[in-house]
Amino acid sequence: MRAQQDDGPEDEKPGRRRWRLPRRRRPLREARPRKGRRPSLRIDYPRRGRRGIRRWLPSWRQLLLVAGTGTAALVGWLVWFYVNTAVPEDLNSFATQQNNVYYWADGTEMARIGPTNRQEVPLGQVPEHVQWAVLAAENETFYTDPGISLTGIGRAVSQMVMGGDTQGGSTITQQYVKNIYLNQRQDISRKLSEIVIAVKLDDRMTKQDILAGYLNTSWFGRGSYGIERAAAAYYGKDVSQLDPSEGALLAAVLKGAGQYDPAVGPQNHERAEERWSWILDRMVKVGKLSAAERARYTVFPEPRPQPKSAGLSGQIGYLVDMARAYVESHSDITPAQFDLGGHQIRTTFEKPKVDALAAAVRDATAGIDPDNREADRFLKVGAASVAPDGRIVALHGGPDYLKQGFNNANTTTVPIGSAFTPVVYAAGLGEGAQRRRGGDRTPVTPATPYNGDDGVNVMTPEGPYWGRDGKIVKTVNEGRRSWGTITLRNAVEQSVNGPLMQLGMDVGLDRVQRTATDLGLLPTSLGELVPALGVGNSTPSAVRTADAYATFAAGGRHTDPYSVLKVSRNGVQLPLRLPPAVQVLAPAVAAEVDAALKGSVRDGAAKAAADAGPNLAAKPGTIADRTAGWFVGYDGQSSTAVTVFRADLKDMKLLSLEGLGGAAPDTSDAALPARVWSAYMKATAAR
């Protein structure tokens, strides 16, 4: 290295030189700020002088800085939120209850139902054991907590973080706040407001006033708001007359009447009884019921049946039930919110058609005499009419909703019989047949020939189909008639069951089921994958059956059935999920099924309805054991399914239709539903 000559400072003596090595510059990272200069505020991130992953890992000082800043910001925001969240001056909408009003499709009023039933009572009229039944179940620390539960809030926060709901952890005070000031929405903002208002309210009101307010505003199901009306709805008595056992049941339904009202069904009853027993045990644990008293209450206090509103007589009750069920399953309105009232429900039901269907049933069953003819006892008639776009325009659920709440048109316990064969026909035309295991599928056409004789062995690709009884399954035609070789289209028109049973095997029973679900039949209503599937071991409702046939009329385009056009509250329209239209069958396939059903009316098994109007398409339905009869078909306006069966609603065991109305033993079980269908078609075609 060459040395550099340093001339030195100017005041040094001339001629004297010093030789120095060159200075090495310090690396930039070692530079220090000059004395008197303010250091840079730049945060050293990514970190200088580090390599690889260490360059991106923050130091512990940086972590503390971020954590401290975040904590300070959160605390500051919480303080701001607390200060700026005031106890509202106005009560929630429960204080101004209204009826729910149902409208016909044309906008005229159908029914005005007032389920909201609330009556305030002083806390002194509520027995202490009833109060503690509620407190033991909901908030045993009510009298000592500050209006909130820190452990409960922790559970609620963890549920929110994990994606669950925020209901867990609410004290009685929080629930009261939610009842009277807030909505039932479950999100973080609403939950924080609930907590803050609960703390402030607990400081402002006495515990007794809060508990009284909670008991008077809570929803107990059966349209009842408040403990007084709940006592009347469940036990027909004043709240002051309730014993601890009855109080425990009312405390149980507070968790959700839709799941804990024991009168709703067996599963509800089981849940209610289990929670009732648990609440009584909790009362013993918190010292509000002695063990000796608890031992007296071992029998579940069955509530009385829910009384029906007088405004639901005739067919109206069935229509209201169906519309309400649709709103609750296709919107964000909960049953409790619905019972607050104030909703306007525009249904799809057309009054002239509902009246015409009821008249058709009444006229067709005029000769039924259950008092003097055993074969006429327990007769049930269900019918539904569905437009091609899925609108349920008419319904017949039974003789009178107040006499029979069970909806015959919506039951899924009655086999559809041979009215199912058009579905098999559609599956064959769309899927083809596979008669050899592993072989190619061959096209199926309306002209494909089949053996139409009675008692023919049902075949699989490997040979005859053996039933569980160890015998070969054979075809059974109505009246045991043999038809010889017959085309598939002719088999549908004449209702020859054997060829359609074999077609189902050739297509594949799984593919038949898939076609059925595409047409709108519920998977839970479809029968086992056995040869009888092809001839109707499934049990779809009349509503779903009519909707499936409507797909044939709509060129293969299917829309699930629906009963509500729109819903609003106090004039504000609420979101409602309506079903989309889906092309589920090729138009050519739907056209072929349509042609066969029209041929059935023109000169086939459904010709008894030929004089009901022009361009009708229909199919009768019967089953081998004669426990049900069907008639399903459509005109240019709607598809209508009519079913008749005999069953005692206590056990729903189906009885034979033989001799119904005094008919001869060989009379078709589809005769009565055909008369209903024809009369309805004539009446609606004339409008």
The pLDDT tens digits for 586-639 are 999 999 999 999 999 999 999 999 999 999 999 999 999 999 999 999 998 999
Q: Which of 514, 538, 562 is the last residue of a domain?
A: 538
Q: Which of 501, 521, 538 is the last residue of a domain?
A: 538
**Per-residue pLDDT averaged across 569-592, rounded?**
94
For residues 122 and 270, membership in a common domain is answered with yes
Q: Provide the number of structural domains found in the chain.
A: 2
At residue 130, does pLDDT exceed 70? yes
pLDDT of residue 379: 96
pLDDT of residue 429: 97
Domain presence at residue 156: yes
Do the strands 224-225 and 117-118 form a parallel or antiparallel pair, or are they unpaired?
Answer: parallel
Q: Are 235 and 249 in contact (CB under 8 A)?
A: no
CATH number, residue 492: 3.40.710.10
pLDDT of residue 169: 57
The count of other CB atoms within 10 Å of the CB of residue 629 is 26
**Per-residue pLDDT averaged across 463-467, rounded?**
93
Residue 366 tokens, joined: 């005029």
- What is the chain's alpha carbon radius of gyration, rounded to the nearest angstrom? 37
Q: Which of 275, 296, 317 is the last residue of a domain?
A: 296
Do the strands 581-583 and 557-559 form a parallel or antiparallel pair, or are they unpaired?
Answer: antiparallel
The pLDDT tens digits for 147-200 are 777 666 666 556 555 554 444 458 888 888 877 765 545 556 656 767 777 777
For residue 74, what pLDDT band results from cuts at 50, 70 and 90? low
DSSP 536-591: T-----HHHHHHHHHHHHTTTEEE--B-EEEEEETTEEE---PPPEEE-S-HHHHH
Domain that holds residue 528: 417-538
CATH number, residue 201: 1.10.3810.10
CA gap 500, 426 in Å, rounded: 11
The pLDDT tens digits for 433-457 are 998 887 889 999 999 999 999 999 9
- Residue whose tokens read 């009362």: 283
At residue 680, does pLDDT exceed 90? yes
Domain presence at residue 636: no
Domain presence at residue 528: yes
The pLDDT tens digits for 514-552 are 999 999 999 999 999 999 999 999 999 999 999 999 999
- Residue whose tokens read 């385009």: 557
For residues 285 and 422, membership in a common domain is answered with no
- Out of 51-65, 269-283, 385-399, 602-616, pick the least confident: 51-65
Return the higher-pLDDT residue of 424 and 2.
424
Domain presence at residue 105: no
pLDDT of residue 28: 47
